[in-house]
Amino acid sequence: MSGVQRCRAWLAKTVPTLPDDPSHPAQVALGTYALALSLSFGPALIPFVASIASVKKSPKTGLEAFKKVVRKELGHDGFAFSMTTCVAGAAALRHLWNSALLPAEDDDQAQGGRNQTAEQNGNVGFSERLVDWIRSLDLLPAQITFISNLISSSVAVILLQKGAARARQGRAKRVDSAGVSPTLDLTLLLVVRALDSVVQSLILRKTQPLSTTDPKRSTTTRNGVEPLLVQEKLQREEAKRVNEERQRMTVRVDALLFWLCSSRIMWCFFYAPHRLPRSYLKWISRLAYLDERIPEALRLIRNKRWSYINGTAQNPALLHEYVRDLGYPASWGDLNDLPAYGGAIANAAWKKLGIPNRSGVGGLPCEVVHGPIGKSLGLQSSCHANAGLRGIRAFGQALFIYVPVHFIPVLLTRPRTLLRPARLAATTAGAFRSTAFLASFLSLYWYAVCLSRTLVLARLLPFVSHDFWDGPYGCILAGSLACGSSIWIENGKRRGEMALYVLPRAFRTFLPGWTIRSQSWKGRLAERIAFVLSMSTLLTAAIHRPDSLRGLSRWALAFVINGPSAGFWKRKRRDPSIPPTPSAVPTPFPQKDIQLIDQKKDNDEQYPRK
C-alpha cells in the first residue's frame, strides 16, 4: 500500500469519528488551532520564504532560526496551543458540565435512587457530593459558560506567558523593549474588545418572547396565537429600529474615540515613543517618512535642552549632518543662525542664509522639515506640495495594506460573489476608500504642522518664539489633533473597527511602568487577571450575545465556536449532494417559544384553514 493510500485510509478511519455538531469541543479545537496557527506561524514564515528568492543569506533565516520558530509556534506553550486550550478547553468543560453534571430529567429519579442507596450504605464519594453541590447552585447557561471560560483562560494565559518568556531567553533583549511583557499587546486588545462587547450589549435592545398565558394577548381571537405572533413581530421590528438609531449614535462615538486615540498616539510618536509597541512604531515611521533626527530635535526642545532663544551647549551640531545630507548648507540647521521670532529680524536672517521663501517667520526652514519630499520636482519649499506628495506616497503604500484587508475575507468566505460586477465594484470602492482615509490622515497631519509653524499662526503671532511653535503644544499638537478627522472618510462599520484598533495602543500609553514590566510580579498578576476576565467575557458573548461583538472579534469567534465543521468533509464523502454544515449554530428556542409553536400546531390541526 502506497503512502497516499495509507493516508486516505487513515483519513477515512479518523475523520468520520468527528461529530457533526460545530460547537462540539473537537470541532472547536480544530477551528481554533487552525486560525491561531495561521495568525502566528504564517507571519513568522514570511522571512524564510522571502530568503529563498534572496541572493543574500542571513543567519536570521537559517535552518537553526527556522527550528526555533517551529519549536516556538508548535510547542505546548505557543500561541496556537494556548488559544486552543482557552477556547476548546472551555467548550470541553461546558460539554462535560451539560452532559455529566446536569443529567436529563428522565434520569433524575434513577440518579436519586442511586444516591439514596449510596447514602444508606455510607458510600457517598467526593464526586457525587460535588455533583450535588453544583446542581444545587442552579446556574444559568451564561453563568456556566463564563465559569468554564474562566478556568480554561487561566490555564491559557499561564502557558502563553511561559512560552513568551522561554522564547525571550534565546535572544538578546533590546534596550528599548527590555522588561516589557511580550503578551501585553494581546491582553490590551482583549480588554478593549471585551469592554466594547459589554457596552454594545447595554446599547442594543434585545427582544423578549411573549407568553401565551397572558390574557391580554391570548383572548383576542379564537386561539389566541396569531395575535401573539404579530405582537412578537412588531416587537422585533421596534427593537430593530431602536438598535439602528443607537448604532448611528455609536458610529459618532467611534469617530470621536478614534480621533482622541490617534491624537494621543501621534503625540507619543514624537515625544514618548517608548510607550508605543515597537512594531507599531516602525509602521508609523515608514508611513511618516521622517528622519529620526527631526523628532530627536523636537524632544530636546520639549526638554528645554535645544532652544532657538538660548541655544544649546550639548547638541549644537545635531542637525548639521542631516542638513548636509539634504544638500543644503549646515548653517540651515544651526541654532546660532536661525531666528527665534518672526518679523523684520527673521527676514534679515533669511536674507543672510539665502532662504527666500520664509519671510515673516522663524524656526527651521521648510526645506529642512520637509526632507527630500518634492526636491526632485523643485517643490521642496512648498508646504502645499509637501502635504499633497506625502498623501500620494501614503496612498500607494496603503493600497498594499487595504486591498488584502477587503478582498481576502471575501475570497475565503464568498469568492464567487466577486464574479458579480456590483460586488466587485463595492469591494474595490471599499479598499480605495480605506486607502484614501490613511492617505488623508498623513496629509492632514503635515498640513496642520505647516499651517501652524509657517503659513498662518506663526505669521499672525510673530512675537511668539519658535520654541513654542516647534514645541509639544505647537505644530506637533496641531498635527496630532487634525489627522484623526480623516476617519469620516471611512464608512460607519469601518470607523468602529478602526477605533477598536487604535484604542489598545492609546490605552497602553497611559499605563504606569509597573503594569507593563514582565519582571514585576504585580504586573504579571494584573495582566493575567485582565486577560482571564476579558477572554471569558468575549467567549461568553460569542455564545450568548453574539450581537454585542463587532468586526474582527465577531468573525474570529464565530469561526472558532460555530464552524466551519470538519463533519462537512465526512458527509461530502458519503453524499456530495448534502449541503455543508451551517456556519452558525441554530439558536435554541426558549421554552415559551416551544410551547407557543406546539400550541399553534395543535390549533391548526383542530381548526384547519379553509
Query: Is the domain of 517 the same as that of 469?
Result: no
pLDDT higher than threshold 70 for residue 119: no
Residue pointed to by grid coordinates 468575549: 538
pLDDT higher than threshold 50 for residue 578: no
Q: Which of 492, 508, 524 is the last residue of a domain?
A: 508
Query: Is the domain of 383 the same as that of 428?
Result: yes
Q: Residue range 121-133: average pLDDT?
A: 66
Query: Is the domain of 190 the same as that of 332?
Result: no
pLDDT in tens, 348-390: 999 999 888 888 999 999 999 999 999 889 899 999 999 999 9
Between CA 595 and CA 224 the distance in angstroms is 13
Model confidence pTM above 0.85: no
172 vs 567, residue with greater confidence: 172
Q: Which of 508, 526, 549 is the last residue of a domain?
A: 508
pLDDT in tens, 584-603: 344 444 444 445 445 555 55
Between CA 336 and CA 117 the distance in angstroms is 98
Model confidence band, residue 11 (pLDDT cutoffs 50, 70, 90): low
Query: Is the domain of 337 the same as that of 439?
Result: yes
101 vs 56, residue with greater confidence: 56
**Residue 62 within a domain:** yes
SS3 track for 250-309: HHHHHHHHHHHHHHHHHHHHHHCHHHCCHHHHHHHHHHHCCCCHHHHHHHHHHCCCCECC
**Residue 607 within a domain:** no
Whether the Cβ atoms of residue 131 and residue 525 lie closer than 8 Å to each other: no
Predicted pLDDT of residue 74: 87
Predicted pLDDT of residue 576: 42
Predicted pLDDT of residue 295: 93
* pLDDT > 70 in the chain, percent: 78
Q: Residue range 57-76: average pLDDT?
A: 80
Predicted pLDDT of residue 570: 44
Give the best-scoring range by mean pLDDT among 162-171, 394-403, 565-574. 394-403
Q: Residue range 241-247: average pLDDT?
A: 74
Which of the residue ranges 9-18, 147-156, 373-382, 393-402 would you say has the lowest mean pLDDT? 9-18
**Residue 321 within a domain:** yes
Query: Is the domain of 489 the same as that of 535?
Result: no
Between CA 42 and CA 443 the distance in angstroms is 33
Between CA 406 and CA 395 the distance in angstroms is 15
pLDDT higher than threshold 70 for residue 252: yes
Task: Give me 563's grid cell.
Answer: 464552524
Query: Is the domain of 470 the same as that of 535?
Result: no
Predicted pLDDT of residue 574: 44
Predicted pLDDT of residue 207: 54
Q: Which domain holds residue 80?
A: 21-203+512-563
Q: Cβ neighbours of residue 432 under 8 Å, at least 6 residues apart?
A: none
pLDDT in tens, 31-45: 899 888 888 888 888
Which of the residue ranges 72-76, 439-443, 471-475 would you say has the lowest mean pLDDT? 72-76
Model confidence band, residue 246 (pLDDT cutoffs 50, 70, 90): confident
Query: Is the domain of 519 the same as that of 503?
Result: no
| Three-state secondary structure call for residue 47 | helix
**Residue 70 within a domain:** yes
What is the overall mean pLDDT for the chain?
Answer: 80
pLDDT higher than threshold 50 for residue 469: yes
Domain count for the chain, please give it.
2
299 vs 24, residue with greater confidence: 299
Q: Residue range 42-61: average pLDDT?
A: 75
Q: Residue range 254-276: average pLDDT?
A: 94
Query: Is the domain of 114 the same as that of 149?
Result: yes
Predicted pLDDT of residue 516: 78
**Residue 339 within a domain:** yes
Q: Residue range 546-564: average pLDDT?
A: 83
Q: Cβ neighbours of residue 454 under 8 Å, at least 6 residues apart?
A: 358, 361, 363, 366, 383
Between CA 513 and CA 280 the distance in angstroms is 19
Residue pointed to by grid coordinates 504642522: 449
**Residue 347 within a domain:** yes
Model confidence band, residue 24 (pLDDT cutoffs 50, 70, 90): confident
Query: Is the domain of 301 the same as that of 442?
Result: yes
Whether the Cβ atoms of residue 183 and residue 161 lie closer than 8 Å to each other: yes
Predicted pLDDT of residue 586: 41
Query: Is the domain of 465 the same as that of 520?
Result: no
Predicted pLDDT of residue 88: 92
Predicted pLDDT of residue 10: 67
Predicted pLDDT of residue 116: 55
Q: Residue range 182-208: average pLDDT?
A: 86
Between CA 359 and CA 348 the distance in angstroms is 9
464 vs 335, residue with greater confidence: 464
Q: What sign results for the dihedral spanned by CA atoms 44, 22, 541, 527?
A: negative
**Residue 41 within a domain:** yes
Model confidence band, residue 575 (pLDDT cutoffs 50, 70, 90): very low
239 vs 66, residue with greater confidence: 66
Query: Is the domain of 415 the same as that of 525?
Result: no
Predicted pLDDT of residue 102: 54
353 vs 230, residue with greater confidence: 353
Model confidence band, residue 208 (pLDDT cutoffs 50, 70, 90): low
Query: Is the domain of 289 the same as that of 305?
Result: yes
CA-based end-to-end distance of the chain: 66
Model confidence band, residue 213 (pLDDT cutoffs 50, 70, 90): very low
pLDDT higher than threshold 60 for residue 605: no
**Residue 251 within a domain:** no
